[in-house]
Amino acid sequence: MEFDEVINKRYSVRGYLDKEVEKEKLDYVLKAATIAPTGVNYQPFKVYVIDTKKNKDALSEIYSAKWFTQAPYVLCVVAETDEAWVRKYDNKCISDIDATIVMDHIILAATSVGLGTCYIAAFKPDKAREFLQLKDSEEPVLFTPLGYGNAEPRDTPRKEIDEFTVYL
């Protein structure tokens, strides 16, 4: 699939088929995470691959939408805050930015092989931390189901370029 097609085809999938994801496709998606750019290439992240059938109750406590656990997997990108690059001018730790870039690579790779995803940031972080057994220096940043979509995209109007672009 051409890049243009991938970015135009991607949408937030809110319904999934009860169909397994092939190991080759899962590996392809995870490989995309490894090549995501991170600050100073520190790669301060982990990707949790969660089997929804085995962990449905715990996942439902983290995010309650029914479709969240329909896909065979839910992925979570976790930032390792003590491993990330810190901007020296204001001490901004960019671990959350790195983790978001990683998730973006995952989601675009998934789209390119016909899998559906949905960025989930509206989860309960305390429940996620408990379930994933995270250290204090680890932060759950984003979740996504990963599977074959069974829902049509919603109408999502987009701003025109001149509505968000500032030329100096």
Residue 134: CATH number of its domain:
3.40.109.10
Identify whether 14 is part of a domain.
yes
DSSP 59-105: HHHH---GGGGTSSEEEEEEEETTTS-EETTTTEE-HHHHHHHHHHH
* pLDDT, position 1: 86
Identify whether 85 is part of a domain.
yes
Identify whether 165 is part of a domain.
no
Identify whether 132 is part of a domain.
yes
Which residue range is the domain that position 111 belongs to?
3-152
User: Each residue of 14-54: pLDDT tens digit?
Assistant: 999 999 999 999 999 999 999 999 999 999 999 999 999 99
Identify whether 102 is part of a domain.
yes
Tell me the pLDDT of the chain averaged across its residues: 97
Ranges in the chain, pLDDT < 50: none
* pLDDT, position 40: 97
Q: How many domains does the chain have?
A: 1
